[in-house]
């Protein structure tokens, strides 16, 4: 148990430091702008590039793993969407944001640091695949749902172009694609450049976790909604169970890939869900509440997942 606490404490401890800093310091949310830019466009892309460029290219083409993990996120999305419609207002656009709460994990800010610290470099490929295809799924579902149900007045072609642009031009995905190209041709990053990349990637996890804590602290939390506990339960409990079931049913994966799938699915709702809610001016305050509750409860659920993973208690 000490090993699990040692793994989990730095992650949630830095989030807590960020949260307390956000509550105490009298700094506007706009003060995070340059840190957000650094994370999204510099540090995390450096991390993903470095991970993928060192990964054997055959590990990046495992379609069955992509199918299992992306389908698990989509099924969690559908379950959360249905529960939200059952327990809350029956608005498809609101339902889309609610469904993100129950399915879209914090795979960018928390995922790589947690899986690599727990499982080592062997978790790099499955972590990157889950991140890339979860992002692609979400950036496809949200614009399409909002367009279909009246949130946006875009035609089918304009919506398709928006989806392609958001997916292919996302800095994390671009960095992953460049890393995959480097792995394909066995490109060795020159030592001086590699030194910068290593310096940047080492800063990614603590900076991202601190920014996450500040972001949660500064979000305008609204009144609770009765569907939020159910949505958080889908995200933190149902989603990792679905991921485990699909990955083990398809089979043929090394234990570290199964464990990575479970850990990534067990992460709390992504802070970027609040950004999506703001963009469409839908479910904004309650999305903030759901992210806050999900992050707080994940201290217990993610620690439990870590215990199961590190003690080989997950059936493989």
How far apart CA 301 and CA 280 sit, in angstroms, is 30
Q: How confident is the model at residue 29 (pLDDT cuts 50, 70, 90)?
A: confident
Q: Residue 170 has which token pair?
A: 């996302």
Q: Is 316 a member of any domain?
A: no
Which residues have a Cβ under 8 Å from the Cβ of 196 and sit 6 or more positions away?
Answer: 46
Residue 194 phi, psi (nearest 5):
-60, -35
Q: Is 98 a member of any domain?
A: yes
Average pLDDT score over residue span 306-310: 94
Domain of 194: which CATH number? Answer: 1.20.1530.20
In this predicted model, what pLDDT tens digit does every residue of 279-304 receive, in sequence order? 888 888 888 889 989 999 999 999 99
The structural domain count of the chain equals: 1
Q: Which residues partner with 269 through β-bridges?
A: 105
Range of the domain at 213: 2-310
Q: Is 60 a member of any domain?
A: yes
Q: Is 238 a member of any domain?
A: yes
Residues of the chain with pLDDT > 90: what percent? 46
């Amino acid at each position: 148990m000490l090993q699990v606490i040692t793994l989990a404490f730095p992650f949630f401890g830095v989030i807590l430091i960020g949260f307390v800093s956000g509550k105490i310091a009298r700094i506007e949310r706009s003060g995070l702008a340059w840190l957000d830019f650094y994370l999204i466009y510099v540090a995390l892309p450096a991390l993903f590039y470095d991970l993928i460029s060192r990964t054997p290219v055959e590990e990046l083409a495992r379609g069955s793993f992509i199918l299992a993990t992306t389908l698990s996120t989509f099924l969690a999305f559908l379950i959360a969407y249905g529960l939200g419609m059952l327990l809350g207002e029956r608005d498809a656009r609101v339902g889309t944001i609610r469904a993100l709460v129950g399915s879209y994990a914090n795979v960018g800010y928390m995922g790589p640091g947690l899986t690599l610290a727990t499982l080592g470099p062997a978790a790099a490929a499955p972590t990157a695949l889950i991140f890339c295809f979860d992002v692609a799924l979400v950036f496809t579902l949200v614009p399409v749902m909002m367009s279909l149900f009246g949130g946006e007045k875009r035609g089918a072609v304009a919506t398709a172009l928006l989806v392609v642009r958001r997916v292919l031009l996302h800095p994390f995905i671009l960095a992953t694609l460049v890393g995959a190209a480097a792995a394909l041709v066995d490109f060795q990053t020159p030592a001086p450049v590699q030194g910068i990349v290593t310096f940047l990637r080492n800063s990614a996890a603590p900076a991202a976790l601190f920014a996450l804590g500040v972001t949660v602290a500064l979000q305008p939390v609204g009144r609770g909604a009765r569907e939020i506990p159910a949505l958080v339960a889908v995200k933190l409990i149902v989603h990792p169970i679905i991921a485990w079931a699909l990955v083990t049913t398809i089979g043929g994966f090394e234990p570290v890939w199964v464990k990575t799938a479970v850990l990534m699915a067990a992460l709390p709702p992504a802070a970027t869900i609040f950004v999506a809610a703001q963009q469409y001016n839908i479910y904004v305050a309650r999305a903030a509440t759901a992210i806050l509750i999900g992050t707080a409860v994940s201290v217990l659920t993610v620690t439990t997942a870590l215990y199961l993973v590190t003690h080989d208690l997950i059936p493989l």
